Chains A and B, each alone.
Chain A
Amino acid sequence: MKYRYATVLMAGALLLGACGTAKEAPVTEVAAAQAAVQAEGGHNDTDVMYLQMMVAHHEQGLEMVRLAEERAGRPEIRTLAKAIDVTQADEVELMTGWLKQWSAPTEVDHAPSAHADHGGLPATGDEEIAALKKAKGAAFETAFLNLFVAHQHNAVEMAQLVTTKGSNAETRAFADRVKASRADQIKQMLQLMNG
């Protein structure tokens, strides 16, 4: 985790290098890479709540895809899981970076009343993840694909919240990317489920 984050930052530095703004940028230049994706401009409570909920949602998702990387029989499923792992892990870094930039807590508020009004409730239960951990073979694949389809549908639903009520441009753009990528992941998973 730590190591992979460092490689991403290095890549960010290289990207800056390619743009000509920071030639020969040292790989340790963490701030430079983060600066490229700061959430400048104003933000509102919806932006904050969305990011907090999504950080928690992502970490639950990471737990599921990391099981699939190990347990899924079909290589297509393992590849999809791994690609989701690396992209979502970076998204977590991005989101927590924005929350810190806004001096907001990065942990979701555990009080259910904090989010009930907004409809963005997570659907995946801890008990279902526990059951997934015990599933084997084809049953694992079926359980993972269905559970993760539901999980990514929730991500799209939460993104809807911020694209209608959020105010920060970077957060809204992030939510748009979430909508597109998750819809396409669901498409792939439904194919894998019924192919």
Chain B
Amino acid sequence: MRRSIAYPLVALGALGSTLVGAAPALAHGYVSAPPSRQALCASGAVANCGQIQFEPQSVEGPKGLRSCDGGVAGFSVLSDESRNWPAKAVGSTVTFTWVMTARHRTSNWEYFIGDKKVATVDGGNAQPDAVVTHNIDLSAFPGKQKVLAVWNIGDTVNAFYSCIDLNVGGSSGGSGGTTPTTAPTTKAPTTAPTTSAPTTAPTTTAPTRTSAPAVPIGESGAAWAPGVAYRTGDKVTYEGKTYQCRQSHSAIRSWEPSIYTLALWLPL
């Protein structure tokens, strides 16, 4: 059954880069760790972010911007300082990890704090890997900082933007520290929602979890619900039928008991 399918990656990438010139690329890249603002939206640590939570890799704009949202109106939440973005406690040298979903030829990566350029990493106009890491010395910038990380594409006029809120020197680990800093220093508190804030409650920006995700444990016989951690043997009801869990998992959308999830749920 198992087939080994070798993607012709180099060739694909070469063509991919010509494709970029012809049409807007599909997507792209963002800083996953320490978590960028779009990563905090995608992980649910910051709620009510709008569409960016589903495409954190899409913050693309012309080169030379100094904004967290890449000038994309639909992503303006990323520039909303009133959202009280949690700052990750990190050591003085920080390992930034980029997740790339399209491996564009790369001019360079730049890191800014305020208007000051902190580091430039040459991309050699080559294709990056799907995951790229940079170790950046931030020892000259202790305390709470907003880092703007920019991925400058080699063969388009565009760049991808990620803002990462950090508490530099707050812990020894590069990205292993877990202390969420709560009180923002000088930023305005979360009173007045901006016009760009999405629908519901814009004030619920505080991260809801601390270190370990507080996942509800499945209660045998209860109705199936997303977010619940089910263990093998647990029973649930769903649309009037009873099912037994065959493989432990945390329930997510589209993993409800059905003909398509027989690997997870056995109909009883």
Contact = CB atoms under 8 A, between A and B. Distances in A.
Q: Do A and B come from one complex?
A: yes
A115 B6 CA distance: 15
A166 to B, nearest CB: 16
A195 B212 contact: yes
A132 to B, nearest CB: 10
Nearest to A132: B131
Q: How large is the interface on A (under 10, 10 to 19, 20 to 34, 35 or more residues)?
A: 35 or more
A94 B39 CA distance: 32
| Interface of chain B, main secondary structure | loop
B213 A11 contact: no
Q: How large is the interface on B (under 10, 10 to 19, 20 to 34, 35 or more residues)?
A: 35 or more
A146 B25 CA distance: 21
Interface in A112-161: 112-113, 115-117, 119-128, 138, 142-143, 146-147, 149-151, 153-154, 156-157, 160
Interface string B238-264: 000100001111101111000111111
Interface string B207-236: 001011100000000000010000000000
Given A18-B241, A187-B43, 20 more contacts: A76-B250, A82-B247, A90-B263, A94-B260, A112-B15, A115-B12, A116-B18, A123-B101, A123-B103, A128-B131, A146-B32, A146-B33, A150-B131, A157-B101, A177-B260, A181-B253, A181-B255, A183-B253, A190-B42, A191-B213
17 contacts: A12-B262, A37-B259, A56-B7, A79-B250, A82-B247, A86-B263, A89-B263, A90-B263, A112-B11, A112-B12, A122-B9, A128-B131, A142-B97, A142-B175, A146-B97, A177-B260, A184-B254
